[in-house]
Amino acid sequence: MRLRYLSLCLAVLSANALAKTEQVRSPNGQIEVHISDDNHPHYSVFFQGKPVINESKLGFDFQTAPSFRDGFEIVSSSQDNVSSTWQQPWGEEREITDNHHELAVTFNNKAKQQAYTVRIRAFDDGIGFRYEVNNAKPLTVVRELTEFSVAQSEKATAWWIPARGWNRYEYVYNTTPLQQAQLVHTPFTFKNADNVHLSIHEAALVDYSAMVLDQRRPGTFVSNLTPWSDGTAVKTNGQFKTPWRTIQIAKDTVGLLNSRLILNLNEPNKLGDVSWVEPGKYVGIWWGMHINKNTWGSGDKHGATTANTKHYLDFAAKNGFDGVLVEGWNIGWDGDWFFNGDVFSFSKPYDDFDIEAIAQYGKKVGAKLIGHHETSGNVTNYRNQMTDAFELYAKNNVSQVKTGYVADGGNIKRIDADGIARYEWHDGQFMVNEYLDNVKLAAKYKISINTHEPIKDTGLRRTYPNWLAREGARGQEFNAWGTPPNPPEHTTMLAYTRMLAGPMDFTPGIFDMSFNGLGDQTNRPQTTLAKQLALYVVLYSPIQMAADLPENYEARPDAFQFIKDVPTDWEKSIALAGEVGDYVVYTRKAKKHKQYSGNDWFLGAITDEQARDIEVKLDFLEAGKRFEAQIYQDGKDAEWKWKPYELEVRKQIVTQQDTLSLHLATSGGVAIRFKAL
Amino acid sequence: MRLRYLSLCLAVLSANALAKTEQVRSPNGQIEVHISDDNHPHYSVFFQGKPVINESKLGFDFQTAPSFRDGFEIVSSSQDNVSSTWQQPWGEEREITDNHHELAVTFNNKAKQQAYTVRIRAFDDGIGFRYEVNNAKPLTVVRELTEFSVAQSEKATAWWIPARGWNRYEYVYNTTPLQQAQLVHTPFTFKNADNVHLSIHEAALVDYSAMVLDQRRPGTFVSNLTPWSDGTAVKTNGQFKTPWRTIQIAKDTVGLLNSRLILNLNEPNKLGDVSWVEPGKYVGIWWGMHINKNTWGSGDKHGATTANTKHYLDFAAKNGFDGVLVEGWNIGWDGDWFFNGDVFSFSKPYDDFDIEAIAQYGKKVGAKLIGHHETSGNVTNYRNQMTDAFELYAKNNVSQVKTGYVADGGNIKRIDADGIARYEWHDGQFMVNEYLDNVKLAAKYKISINTHEPIKDTGLRRTYPNWLAREGARGQEFNAWGTPPNPPEHTTMLAYTRMLAGPMDFTPGIFDMSFNGLGDQTNRPQTTLAKQLALYVVLYSPIQMAADLPENYEARPDAFQFIKDVPTDWEKSIALAGEVGDYVVYTRKAKKHKQYSGNDWFLGAITDEQARDIEVKLDFLEAGKRFEAQIYQDGKDAEWKWKPYELEVRKQIVTQQDTLSLHLATSGGVAIRFKAL
C-alpha cells in the first residue's frame, strides 16, 4: 500500500492552509530550526541552507492520559537572545561563551484541553530543544515520540554502540552506514555526504529516563526512553521539563570537539562554594587486581592493606599525585559479591586495612586516600549505608570517592517500599535520580564523586561541580581482560563520541604492556607507550589516574616525567585536527593550579592502527613568547604490536611561528609539554 | 570487574549440591533437554551429544508481584510420551505425525510462595517449552526473562529481519554472523559451525504478546515481549500458559523445512465441521492498482467496478480459479484513508460496485467474490462494523476475506473504554487477540480469513482452520514499488525463515516484468518467468493468487498452463534440497480436491542470483507408476535482468528410477507437474 500512501501524504500536507511554522536561527545564521503544527507538530533543522534533519515529529504517549500526537496547533511563541560568558570552577576551559537565540513555542489541542511548550535554543555549534509540560494532573510517560529524521541518510556514516545490552555503554564502536544502526546510545555521532558532522545527545538529564535512539524507519530515529521495571518510562507530577535533546552540528570533525553546547544547556552551579572540589591526579591499588597480581578479597594477595596503601601514598606524594584509590578495603569482596552485593559493608574495613592510620599517614606525607564504594548494583544496600559511609570518609580526610554499579544492564536491584526486589536499568529514571542523590549527599560532606558503570554524562557537572568524572565507556580495564581488548582505534573513536558528553575516567598510563606477552593475541593495551602519555591530553578528565603499578613508572622515568608534569585543569582547550576513529590532535593551556603554572601549553595526538605523520602549526601559542617543547613521541621503529616501548624524548625551543612535524607509529601518539620560558 | 566475576560465577555454581536437574530426550534420542534449578532456573539443549543451546535462564518480571528469578527449586516433575498421527482438513500434508516425549517440571519459591511449571516437549525435529502459571491473583508481565544462549555463537551465521521497525515484518533478510543481530523477529533461523540448522519461534500465540529476540549478550538472546501502550507486556488473570517457545533443530537445511513442530504444538481444531473452508486459487483487482493502472479510490481509473469484476469473474471461471479479490470496493478510499481510517465503511460500496449483481453473476459463472477489509490500523472502526460487514458478505456468497492493517509498527489505533485513542503494536497482546477475534467471528459466517499486515503465524490454523493464510513478510507487491524491490534471493530466504511459521499469501505469478522496464534498476519482480511458476510449489499457501492482469496470462498460455494445473492442497510435502538464501527444491503430492486428481506430484525449485544446475532424483514418486513430467524451466539463455521470459516447456515420461537434470537461470526456477498416467 505504499505508493498510495505517499501521494496521500502529500495531499494532506498541502491542504492545511492554517498551519503555522516558526523559525529560529543561530547567532551566525548558519543553523536554522523550523517548528510547525502542520498535520502533526514537527521540527526540522538546516545547516548552511541545506536540510540536516528533515521533518521530525514531536509528542508523547502516556499511560492513562490521552496522547500528545496530532490535533495540536501553535498558539503562542516567544523569543530570547542570549550573549554571555560564564566561568567553570574546573574544566577543559575556564571561560565558556554562551551565545544563543531561543524560541519557545506553545502547542495547544483545544479538543483535548492539552498543551505543551517546546523551547529551542540555537547556538553556532548546534541546537537543543526540550518539552515543557504544565499539566494539572500527574502524567506517566510511556513513550516519547521525538523523531530525528536524518536528511539523505542513505549517504551518512555513523559511529555507534548498541543500546540495552548487558554491558551498558562498554562496547567497541561500530562504523557503518547510518542506516545499519538499529538501537543505539547517545552521543550518537554521524556525518553526512557533505562532511557535515552531527551528534545527537541530551543535556541536563534529571528526573527523567535516558533516551536511546531507535531507527524506526531508514534514517528516522525515534527517542526510546529506558523503562522502569513496571514498563512505564517517566513518572511525573504533570509539571515537568524534559532533558534538552541536543544536536551538535559542525562543518568538520573538530567543530564537534570544540563545542560547549552540552555545558551551556545545563543549569548553573547549585552548590555554592565548591573550592573543596579538586582536580588532580591519582594512583591506586586497582590495576594489580585486574592483572591478577592482587585480589580485591582477603587473603595473601589482598591489595588493600595498610602497608600497601602507605607504599602508594609515599609514591603519590613523591611524584606530585594527590591521592591513592584503594579498592577491596571493605568487607564483602569475599564470596558471591557479584550475585548478592548485600554483603558489601561501606563502613567496615577488612582487618588488614586500618583506615585511620592511613588517613594520618596521608596527612603526614601529603596525599589522600580516595574512597571506593562498589555497589554491585544493589543500590538499596548502598543507600541504607550511604550516610555512614560518607561520614567515615569525611572523618578520615577522604574528599573523593569512586563509586561502582557493576551489574548487567537491566539488573540493578532495588528493594521497593513493599520490600519487593525490582530490577532497573542503569539509565532508567530511578537510577538517574539515584546517581544524582549520591552526588548531592556527597557534597554535604565536601566529597567529590567519580561514578563507574554510570548514567551517561549530560553535563550536570556544571550544576553539581563535585560530580567530577565517570566511566560510561570501555576504559583501560578492558585491556587487562576484555574480549577483545580495546582495539587501536578505540580512543580515537571515544574522542568524537563518548567524550562529547563530558569527562571520562579512562585511567590511562599503562607502561608495562607485556604482562600477558606482546603481539596482538593477548590482553594488553593495544597502543604504544607514547600514546598512553598522549591520552592525558586527549581524553579530558579533571582527575587522571596513573593507572599502572609504581614499579613500572620507576622503570621508565623518561616517560613518567610527562605524567608528572601534565595538569588536569585547563584554561583553554582546542581540538586542532582529526577524523573520527582515525586520529585526533588536541592542545590545552594549563590553568594556574597547585604546582602547575598557568603558562604552559600541552598537546596530545593519537592515531589508530595506521601510522601517521602530522604537521601541527603552533599558532595557538601566544605571540612573542618562547616555549621549550618537551616532545614525547614514538621512536622511529615503534609499532604497537611488538615495539610499543620505543619512545623518543626531545626538546626544542619553539614560538607561535613554528610548525612541528610529528610522527605517530601504528596505534601511537605524541605528548608535548610547551614549557613557558 | 569481569575477571573476578567469572571466577565467582564458577564458585557459586558448583556450591549448590542440592540442585536438581531433569532431562528429556526426543524419541530418536538425538535431542536432549536439561532443566535445572541450580542457582537460577535454566535449561539447555543438546543435539547429537553436543550443546546447541547453553544454559539459558527462565523467569519473569511482573508489574507488581515479585519477580520469578532466583530462589526457585524443582519440587516435582512428570513425564508423558505421545506417539500419534492426526489429519489436517487442508494443508501442506494431510497426515501429520506427532511423536514426542514430554517433561513437565514445577519450580517453587518457598520464601515468596510462588510457583510455576515449565512443560517441555522434545520431538525429533525440535523442542517446545512453555510456562504454566497458576497464581491466585492477576499477574501483569512486564518482562519475560527466557534466554536462548546459542552455543559457539561466535561461529554461527544467522538470517534475520529487524524487529520493532515501522514496517512490521516487511524487510529484506540480512545474512550476518549471528552476533551482529540486535533485535530480531522470529522465526529466527541460524546455523552453527557443525552445519546444524536451528530456528527459534513460538507456537500457539494466544492472549499473550509476541516475543522478539533481543541479543543481550553475545550469543544470548532474551525474549523481549512487545508492550501495550501502557508499557506492560501481558495482562493475565494469574492463570496462564505462555505460547510454546520453539527451537527447531536439524542436521541440515531440509530438516527445518520438513518439520511439523509448530503444528504439533497447537491445539486441535475447535471449529468442528470446517468443510466450508476451501483451499483454492484466485485472481484479483489488485495488481493493477499497485502498478498505477487503476486506483483504489473512485474516479475514471477505479478498479473495483461491477463491469471490471464481472470481467475477472469470467476469467476466473474460464480458467478454474475459485474467486476474485476486489480491493477498493468500499467507501473510504478517497481522501486521507491512511491517516484516518475511520473513513472506511465496511458495508457501503462505491456507486459503481453493485455487490448483489456481482454475487449473482458469480453464482452464474461459477466463481466467487473475495472480500476485502482494509482497516488502515483503525481497529475500533473495523470492530464496530465487523458484524454488519460479515453479514453483508455472507448474504452475497462471499466465503473468503482478505483483511489489512496498514499502519506503521506501534501505530495501530484503538479507542479504549474511556474514548481515548491508544497506539498499539501489531504484535502486542491487544492485537494478538484482535486478529483472532476477527477469525472467530468470521467462522460464525463460514468465512475464511487471509490477514495482511498480520500477527506472525504460530500455527493457529490447526485450531482455527478458517485462518487460511497471511502476509507477514515482503510479498509480491514490493516488486511494484518497493525500495528496493525484493532481491533475487528473497524467496529463497523466505523458505527457511518466514515459511517455517506457516502459509504465506505471497501472490506469485507476475508474467509481465516490463511495466517499468527490464534490467536491475527498476521496480519489477527480480526473477525469471519460470521462477514465478515455481513459487506456486515452493511457497506453500492453501490459497494462491495468480497476481497479474488477465491479459498478461492470455499472452502466455504456455506458462499459464502450469498455474491452471497446480493445486493448493496437498497430500504430502517434501523439501528435497537447498541452502538458506541460495536455493530450495520442494516436491508435493496433490490431494484429491475439486478438479485436482490425487495422483499427481508437483515440483518447484528456485535459485537466488546464481544460476544453478541441479539433479533431482525422483525417488519420491511411487514405485511402478509412470508420470508425464511437464517441465517448465528457464530457457538456456534466460537470466533475470534482461531475459526473464525465456521459458522452455517440455514433456518427458518418468518413473521413480529417474533423475532429472534441471537448469535454473539467475533468479530462476523450474516448475514441474508429474501427471500420473
**What is the per-residue pLDDT across B265-296, written as a single tens digit (0 to 9) for each?**
999 999 999 999 999 999 999 999 999 999 99
Q: Which residues of A touch B182 (CB under 8 A)?
A: 162, 182-183
Q: Are strands A244-250 and A280-285 parallel, antiparallel or unpaired?
A: unpaired
Residue B162 lies in a domain: yes
Q: Which residues of B touch A66 (CB under 8 A)?
A: 420-421
Q: Which residues of A touch B66 (CB under 8 A)?
A: 420-421
Q: What is the largest CA-CA distance in chain B?
A: 80
Helices (H), A319-423: 355-365, 379-395
Q: Domain boundary at B471, B498, B518, which? A: B471
User: In the structure, what pLDDT confidence band is assigned to residue A395 with cuts at 50, 70 and 90?
Assistant: very high
C-alpha to C-alpha distance for B547 and B83, rounded to whole angstroms: 41
- State the pLDDT at residue A337: 61
Phi first, then psi: give them for residue B333, nearest 5 degrees. Answer: -80, -10
Residue B7 lies in a domain: no
Q: Please write down the HEC assignment for all residues of B355-391.
A: HHHHHHHHHHHCCEEEEEEECCCEHHHHHHHHHHHHH
Q: Which residues of B are catalytic?
A: 477
Residue B1 lies in a domain: no
Q: Which of A150-154, A182-186, A333-337 bottoms out in mean pLDDT, i.e. has the lowest? A: A333-337
Q: Which residues of B touch A408 (CB under 8 A)?
A: 216-217
Say whether pLDDT at A595 is over 70.
yes
C-alpha distances out from residue B429 to A74, B209, B317, B408, Å: 36, 4, 41, 17
A280 class by beta-carbon count within 10 Å (0-12 exposed, 13-18 middle, 19+ buried): buried
Q: Do B487 and B451 sit in the same domain of this protein?
A: no
C-alpha distances out from residue B158 to A80, B5, B219, Å: 53, 30, 11
C-alpha to C-alpha distance for A558 and A547, rounded to whole angstroms: 17
Residue B120 lies in a domain: yes
- State the pLDDT at residue B340: 58
The ipTM (two decimal places) reads 0.93
Nearest CA to A658 among A601, A599, A617?
Answer: A617
pLDDT (mean) for A109-121: 95
Contacts 24+ apart (CB under 8 A), B151-155: B151/B50, B151/B51, B151/B52, B151/B53, B151/B54, B151/B192, B151/B219, B152/B192, B152/B193, B153/B178, B153/B179, B153/B218, B153/B219, B153/B220, B154/B179, B154/B218, B154/B219, B155/B192, B155/B193
Q: Do A479 and A458 sit in the same domain of this protein?
A: no
- State the pLDDT at residue B338: 61
At A407 the three-state DSSP class reads: coil
Q: How far is A291 from chain B (nearest CA, A)?
A: 9
Q: Please list, residue by residue across A8-30, b when 16 or more beta carbons sit within 10 angstroms of its beta carbon and e when fewer do.
A: beeebeeeeeeeeebbbebeeeb
Q: Do A290 and A319 sit in the same domain of this protein?
A: yes
Residue A120 maps to which CATH number? 2.70.98.10
Q: Do B342 and B323 sit in the same domain of this protein?
A: yes
Closest chain A residue to B338, measured at CA: A5
Residue A528 lies in a domain: yes
- State the pLDDT at residue B594: 82
In total, the C-beta contacts within 8 angstroms joining chain A to chain B are 135
Q: Do A325 and A399 sit in the same domain of this protein?
A: yes
Place of cell 618562547: A626
**What is the per-residue pLDDT across A4-21, written as a single tens digit (0 to 9) for each?**
444 444 444 444 668 999
Closest chain A residue to B410, measured at CA: A216
Q: Which residues of A touch B423 (CB under 8 A)?
A: 61, 67, 69
Which of A66, A227, A228 lies closest to B421 in CB terms? Answer: A66
Say whether pLDDT at A656 is over 80.
yes
Say whether pLDDT at A247 is over 70.
yes
Q: Quick check: A179 and A157 in contact, CB under 8 A?
A: no
At A667 the three-state DSSP class reads: coil
Q: Domain boundary at B425, B451, B471, which? A: B471
Say whether pLDDT at B595 is over 70.
yes
Nearest CA to A218 among A151, A160, A162, A165?
Answer: A151
Q: Do A289 and A385 sit in the same domain of this protein?
A: yes
C-alpha to C-alpha distance for B638 and B648, rounded to whole angstroms: 10
**What is the per-residue pLDDT across A51-68, written as a single tens digit (0 to 9) for each?**
999 999 999 999 999 999
Say whether pLDDT at B38 is over 60.
yes
Indicate the number of domains in chain B.
3
- State the pLDDT at residue B457: 98
Q: Do A90 and A198 sit in the same domain of this protein?
A: yes
Q: Do B1 and A162 touch (CB under 8 A)?
A: no
**Would you state the cell numbers that stand for residue B585, as one nine-digit string?**
527444491
Q: Which amino acid is at A510?
A: I
Sign of CA dihedral B621, B622, B623, B628: negative
Say whether pLDDT at B116 is over 50.
yes
Mean pLDDT score of chain A: 96
- Percent of chain B as helix, strand, coil, to the nearest 5: 20, 35, 45
Residue A3 lies in a domain: no
**Would you state the cell numbers that stand for residue A340, as one nine-digit string?**
548478592
User: In the structure, what pLDDT confidence band is assigned to residue B128 with cuts at 50, 70 and 90?
Assistant: very high
Residue A4 lies in a domain: no
Q: Quick check: A584 and A495 in contact, CB under 8 A?
A: yes
pLDDT (mean) for A155-172: 97
Say whether pLDDT at B376 is over 90.
yes
Q: Which of B116-130, B330-344, B454-468 bottoms out in mean pLDDT, i.e. has the lowest? A: B330-344
Q: Which residues of B touch A340 (CB under 8 A)?
A: none
The DSSP-derived string for A183-238 is EE-SSEEEE-TT--EEEEEEE---SSPPEEEEEEETTEEEEEEPPPTTS--EEE-S
Q: Which residues of A are catalytic?
A: 477
Q: Are strands A583-590 and A601-607 parallel, antiparallel or unpaired?
A: antiparallel
Q: Are strands A234-236 and A139-144 parallel, antiparallel or unpaired?
A: antiparallel
Closest chain A residue to B12, measured at CA: A336
- State the pLDDT at residue A211: 98
Q: Quick check: B81 and B102 in contact, CB under 8 A?
A: yes
Q: What number of other Cβ atoms are within 10 A of residue A331's Cβ?
A: 16
Say whether pLDDT at A1 is over 90.
no
Closest chain A residue to B335, measured at CA: A8
**What is the per-residue pLDDT across B41-55, written as a single tens digit (0 to 9) for each?**
999 999 999 999 999
Q: Please list, residue by residue across B325-356, b when 16 or more beta carbons sit within 10 angstroms of its beta carbon and e when fewer do.
A: bbbbbbbbbbebbbbbbbbbebeebbeebbbe
- State the pLDDT at residue B11: 44
Q: Quick check: B626 and B599 in contact, CB under 8 A?
A: no
Say whether pLDDT at B5 is over 80.
no
**Would you state the cell numbers that stand for residue A495, as one nine-digit string?**
574522542
Q: What number of other Cβ atoms are within 10 A of residue B315's Cβ?
A: 20
C-alpha to C-alpha distance for B34 and B42, rounded to whole angstroms: 8
**Would you state the cell numbers that stand for residue A235, as one nine-digit string?**
513518572
More confident residue, A461 or B483: A461
Q: Do A433 and A568 sit in the same domain of this protein?
A: no
Q: Quick check: A367 and A316 in contact, CB under 8 A?
A: yes
At B559 the three-state DSSP class reads: helix
- State the pLDDT at residue A18: 85
Nearest CA to B534 among B671, B634, B356, B355?
Answer: B671
Q: Do B147 and B287 sit in the same domain of this protein?
A: no
Residue B604 lies in a domain: yes
Percent pLDDT > 70 in chain B is 97
At A276 the three-state DSSP class reads: coil
- Percent of chain A as helix, strand, coil, to the nearest 5: 20, 35, 45
Q: How far is B32 from chain A (nearest CA, A)?
A: 28
User: In the structure, what pLDDT confidence band is assigned to residue B105 with cuts at 50, 70 and 90?
Assistant: very high
- State the pLDDT at residue A4: 46
B463: DSSP letter: T
Domain that holds residue A107: 22-264
C-alpha to C-alpha distance for B73 and B107, rounded to whole angstroms: 5
**What is the per-residue pLDDT across B180-213, written as a single tens digit (0 to 9) for each?**
999 999 999 999 999 999 999 999 999 999 999 9
pLDDT (mean) for A422-439: 98
Q: Domain boundary at B231, B264, B297, which? A: B264
Closest chain B residue to A9, measured at CA: B336
Q: Do B4 and A289 touch (CB under 8 A)?
A: yes
- State the pLDDT at residue A16: 62
- State the pLDDT at residue A594: 82
Nearest CA to B258 among B269, B250, B246, B268?
Answer: B250
Q: Where are the extended beta strands (E) located within B151-243?
A: 157-160, 174-177, 183-184, 188-191, 197-203, 211-217, 220-225, 234-236, 239-241
User: In the structure, what pLDDT confidence band is assigned to residue A421 with cuts at 50, 70 and 90?
Assistant: very high
At B477 the three-state DSSP class reads: coil
Q: Do A8 and B232 touch (CB under 8 A)?
A: no
Q: Do B424 and B567 sit in the same domain of this protein?
A: no
User: In the structure, what pLDDT confidence band is assigned to residue A597 with cuts at 50, 70 and 90?
Assistant: confident
Q: Quick check: A354 and A306 in contact, CB under 8 A?
A: yes
Closest chain A residue to B227, measured at CA: A231
- State the pLDDT at residue A341: 55
Q: Do B286 and B430 sit in the same domain of this protein?
A: yes
Would you tell me the crossing angle of helices A529-538 and A557-565 to the nearest 10 degrees?
0
- State the pLDDT at residue B353: 98
Percent pLDDT > 70 in chain A is 97
Q: Quick check: A182 and A412 in contact, CB under 8 A?
A: no
Q: Which amino acid is at A64?
A: T
Q: Which residues of A touch B338 (CB under 8 A)?
A: 1, 4-5, 8-9
Residue B585 maps to which CATH number? 3.20.20.70
User: In the structure, what pLDDT confidence band is assigned to residue B339 with cuts at 50, 70 and 90?
Assistant: low
Q: Which residues of A touch B1 (CB under 8 A)?
A: 338, 374, 404, 406, 477
Which of B67, B233, B477 lies closest to A421 in CB terms? Answer: B67
Q: Do B337 and A289 touch (CB under 8 A)?
A: no
Q: Do A280 and A161 sit in the same domain of this protein?
A: no
